[in-house]
Amino acid sequence: MNIWSIAIKEIKSSLREKRTFMFMLALPIILMLILGSALSNAFDDTRPVGDMRLLYKSNGTDVQMSTAWNSFIEALGDKGVEVAPVSSGMDGQEEVRSDRYTGYAVVSDTGIEFYGSSKNAIGSNILAGMLTVFADRYSLASAAYQIDPESASAIVKVTGQRSDFIQETTLNPNKKPGAIDYYAIAMTTMIALYSMLSASYLFTKERTNKTSTRLMAAPVSKGAIFTGKMIGSTFVNMFFVLVVFLVSKFVFQADWGNHYGMVILVLLTEVLLAVSLGLGISFLFKGEGVRAINNIFTQVSSFVGGAYFPIDQSAGLFSLLSKVSPLHWANTGLMQIIYTDNPRGAWVAIAMNVSIATAFIVFSVITMRRREGAFV
């Protein structure tokens, strides 16, 4: 009963702190709205390609190559690509440089040279990919003709009739996070990490409020006080996280997938991790040192963990730092469970959170027991 009485007392006192209450709720919701609205275009991966025009010059004398090339450019025309041979006196590279053509291909018996336009990089890359596929297929057919012409003819015949040798399947092809979806996850995990700010003052505020002596004189063990305070802090901070989660889902219509139990478990273990980190820091440092470490750790972890922008394409030192941020593995786990129905990432995040939290709890308990007559 002592444990639950202390936990309830901690919950009530935390909810009375209006500044903390507003900070833990207003900050993530406002940032979610601002970043989700301002950066919505950054999450739109649709890009207009525009018309693609291919200029080519054929220097080949191989009849087989010429036949294959003519079939290829005919197929390109069917796909909407405008294909034209270079005229006498025309400089193909200058035509591309002037942006009159998307690309220029010089076809010979030894291969294809392609010059792409930097002004239409997307269209140029598409044409380069098509030419690469053609060259690879022609090389394969040429090699087959040298070994067994009859088999090669059969391969070419079947290849021309069928285009389903490679079938592409995507997992949830139309399901990907928009700006609001991304920042709903990022802000929720960020505010879960901010639980360490209040947790680091769980025992310090008893001394500030001059209640530590009375608490130590009460017929309650240190273990009960520690457990009650930790339960109360975890409950309050999880309440803030759930409010942000519900606002993002029902007000901003963010996509949290269908595995709500797993999502909440990831968030709960992250809150537990943050509370244990806060407690550990409070036993390691004193005074302003606690505040400084809290601010540095939360801000750096948020920045490199993807709270303000996606960090999937990061490299070097930034990539290394992101991997040690609690936000990184929490965000990664939630993204996998929401958008690919893959629970593996979520279980990794849960395991990391619980393991580190356990280590800091053990450290805090051992440190507290070694101190005589006071918590801090």
Phi-psi region of 144 (alpha: psi -120 to 50; beta: other; left: phi over 0): alpha
For 371, the 3-state DSSP assignment is coil
User: What's the rounded Cα separation, in Å, for the pair 372 and 12?
Assistant: 28
For 352, the 3-state DSSP assignment is helix
Which domains are seen in the chain, by residue range?
2-43+176-370 (no CATH), 53-161 (3.40.50)
Strand partners, 112: 107
What does each of the 376 residues of the chain score in pLDDT, given as a tens digit? 588 888 898 888 888 888 888 889 999 999 999 988 887 766 665 555 567 889 998 887 777 778 888 888 888 888 788 899 998 888 988 888 888 899 999 988 778 889 888 777 778 888 888 888 888 777 777 776 667 666 555 555 544 444 444 444 444 555 678 889 999 999 999 999 999 999 988 887 766 666 666 666 666 777 888 899 999 999 999 999 999 999 999 999 999 999 999 999 999 999 999 999 999 998 888 777 888 999 999 999 998 888 888 876 556 677 777 888 999 999 999 998 998 888 888 999 999 999 999 999 999 988 888 765 555 4
User: What's the rounded Cα separation, in Å, for the pair 140 and 185?
Assistant: 48
For 114, the 3-state DSSP assignment is strand
- 152 in Cβ contact with 141 (< 8 Å): yes
